[in-house]
Structure 1
Amino acid sequence: MPSVLNRVALGLAIAVGVYAAVLGALLTPYLQRFALYAHKINTLFLHDIDSGEQFGFAKNQVTPFNIRTPNDETLYAWHVLPIDVYARNERSLLEEKRSDGMVQDFTTTEAFRLLTSDDTPNTHVLTIDYRGFGKSTGSPTEAGLITDGVALVNWVLHVAKIRPERIVILGQSLGTAVAAAVALEFANPGHVKEEEGDRKKPLLQSGISDVTHPATFAGIIIVAPFYDLPSLLLTYRIGGFLPLLLPLRPFPSLARMLTSRVADTWPTAERLAAHYASSNNNVGARSTLGSLQVMHAVDDGDISFLQTGMICRRMLGAKCVGLESPAVVDVKEKGRPRVRVEILKYGGHNRIVTYSPVAAAVLRAFEGL
């Protein structure tokens, strides 16, 4: 019996030692970002992402192309045509001479012509790989990913020349943090900041964002968000099972010390609250106040849906009630964007973006409901 207990004690000691070593290693920004973004795990060899057909799209419905950022990173992007636009223009799309792989100049394509001339209420999709992911260059940081999001929106505004009231920004998971920051940067240029001791300083360098005038979009849709990264880490389970900092719950001071060393904090709730508050400041410069919709599923195993309730309370205070179970909070105040927070019964963490409530949120934003 003593030998069994000794082996158990030794095993526990080794496990605690390994856990402590992992936490110690994660105090360095490089390893933090390696673990947070997991961008080094690249599965491009499994798929030809230049071919939309491999993912169920029609031939030439997807156009892969590149977007340059102000700090000289190259972002791999997709444009996806709405299926009704594709069906009406299938012959011209198939007759277009297009080499295999990425399109060098998207502006010369039939897809670009359809994007820029489509005045009907269709939903064209433009999406990017953030820096360091997929075929995009660079390495991810909080400031870098925000710059990437701003670069994409600026491309839509200034190259495709799509009006802000025809744009919906949608982010899921980590993308919710990017979407919140991008929305705030356009609503109040230069307002995206980071903590530095007791002060706040601009997170994006002067000239990096290329945002000079306030703009409000048809809608901002946030799917499966988190309040901020430090608070998320206290409850996050890797793969939905392995807790990261939950073992430190009996030691709150140690947990606070570790979370205070997080390099990229992603304060989503603060940025959404600032975006909501800033809507009143520049209303004269806007043709629309747009909408803000936040969605989360109860069965999300990666990010607890309770994080969305926390975000709602940070924005709307006592108006957020009943979000401990499937429910909807819908608030419209004069001079501010409409806010709708919805807790779904099902959807998980990733599948939720394929569910009808998210598609309905996009339509709701475009139709001003």
Structure 2
Amino acid sequence: MELGELSLRDTESPTIAHCPAGDPAKIHVLTFDYRGFGKSTGSPSETGLMMDALDVIDWAMHVAGIPPSRILIFAQSMGTAVSIAVSKHLALQDPPVIFAGTVLVAPFVDVATLVSTYRVAGTIPIISPFTRLPLVFKYLQRFIRDKWLSKDSIAQYMRANEFNEEKYRLTIIHAEDDYDIPWHHSQLLFWHAVNASTSTGMSYDFEQKKLDSKADLGAAGSTMEWRTDNGVIREEILKTGLHDVIMGYPVITMAVMRHFEAVDPSFTS
């Protein structure tokens, strides 16, 4: 049976391609243009992008005939917000729809936090000076139309999976030198995911637990896995990779393969 990878990235052209690792006859990549970009009509919005993503997933399952257990949701940058929201939406359905896994590269906590940390070329702040003026910053947030509350969505996704005892896998990857979306966004998302996977929430010593259990890879960065009875939440922080260069790194392919091998150990054989 084939495996599918639904890719949500900052891209303006659709791509269907074979993955270079494993058996190329077993994996396909499906991407699509955001509304208002490439060949897609309309204008982008949180509701519209959600509808489009759900339509693509519905096509993959009911037209291409690939069951959700053999579909991986892969996303980078802006696409991570869409993929987290979609994964949460489907996990809350009755019955829930759970995929083989979700891989997020350079995600962000929410739009308000993102604009408060964004710097042009990593040096020139745009909105961050206003964070020192809470009332002004709160006023400016009124003009943010699409919130993309990824931290809340990822927490709801985890709680739903744990409550339903559904098997899940989540990988978050970020580079420390990413100046478009600072890597602490991934740290915060990882915390929200882990916190929601426990019945009592994380205690104050979470950072110490990370220090004790994460694998230090030296110049390559570090990895940390949090396991529950139902799933695995993995954080991979690279020393280098910027925002887009990281997409060509082997760590990306390895993450995808790891999820598919968890579904079918013979996948790469």
| Aligned-partner Cα distance in 2 for 1:240–1:149 | 31
Question: Any unmatched runs of 5+ in structure 1?
Answer: 1-74, 88-117, 190-211
| Aligned-partner Cα distance in 2 for 1:367–1:267 | 30
Establish whether residue 250 from structure 1 lines up as the match of residue 132 from structure 2. Answer: yes
Contact 1:290 1:365 in 2 (8 A): no
| Aligned-partner Cα distance in 1 for 2:164–2:58 | 19
In structure 1, the partner of 2:185 is 307
In structure 1, the partner of 2:236 is 342
1:86 positional shift: 10
Could you tell me which amino acid in structure 1 is paired with residue 176 of structure 2?
V
In structure 1, the partner of 2:29 is 125
1:352 positional shift: 1.2
| Aligned-partner Cα distance in 1 for 2:245–2:13 | 23
In structure 2, the partner of 1:78 is 15
1:327 positional shift: 2.3
Q: Which structure carries more relative contact order (alpha carbon 8 Å, separation 6+)?
A: 2
| Aligned-partner Cα distance in 1 for 2:260–2:23 | 20
Q: Pick from 330, 343, 356: which aligns with 2:250? A: 356
Decide whether aligned partners of structure 1 residues 310 and 260 sit closer, same or farther in structure 2, where only a CA change above 3 A counts. Answer: farther
| Aligned-partner Cα distance in 2 for 1:229–1:83 | 34
Decide whether aligned partners of structure 1 residues 84 and 218 sit closer, same or farther in structure 2, where only a CA change above 3 A counts. Answer: closer
In structure 1, the partner of 2:194 is 316
| Aligned-partner Cα distance in 1 for 2:75–2:160 | 20
After TM superposition, the structure 1 = structure 2 runs for residues 1-369 of structure 1, keeping only pairs within 5 Å, are 77-82=14-19, 122-189=26-93, 213-283=95-165, 289-317=167-195, 318=202, 319=206, 321-322=210-211, 326-335=221-230, 337-368=231-262
| Aligned-partner Cα distance in 2 for 1:331–1:149 | 28
1:185 positional shift: 1.2
Contact 2:193 2:233 in 1 (8 A): no
1:240 positional shift: 3.4
TM-score w.r.t. length of structure 2: 0.79
1:82 positional shift: 4.1
Could you tell me which amino acid in structure 2 is paired with residue 316 of structure 1?
V
Decide whether aligned partners of structure 1 residues 368 and 83 sit closer, same or farther in structure 2, where only a CA change above 3 A counts. Answer: closer
- Compare CA radii of gyration and give the structure with the larger one: 1
Could you tell me which amino acid in structure 2 is paired with residue 297 of structure 1?
A
TM-score w.r.t. length of structure 1: 0.59
Could you tell me which amino acid in structure 1 is paired with residue 250 of structure 2?
S
Could you tell me which amino acid in structure 1 is paired with residue 256 of structure 2?
V
% identical equivalent positions:
35
1:359 positional shift: 0.7
| Aligned-partner Cα distance in 2 for 1:299–1:241 | 12
Contact 1:221 1:362 in 2 (8 A): yes
Decide whether aligned partners of structure 1 residues 82 and 343 sit closer, same or farther in structure 2, where only a CA change above 3 A counts. Answer: closer
Secondary structure of 2:159's match?
A: helix
1:128 positional shift: 0.6
Contact 2:170 2:233 in 1 (8 A): yes
| Aligned-partner Cα distance in 1 for 2:141–2:50 | 21
Contact 1:236 1:303 in 2 (8 A): yes
Secondary structure of 1:124's match?
A: strand
1:149 positional shift: 1.2
- Cα RMSD (Å): 2.5
Could you tell me which amino acid in structure 2 is paired with residue 359 of structure 1?
T
Contact 1:233 1:259 in 2 (8 A): no
Secondary structure of 2:143's match?
A: coil
Decide whether aligned partners of structure 1 residues 84 and 171 sit closer, same or farther in structure 2, where only a CA change above 3 A counts. Answer: closer
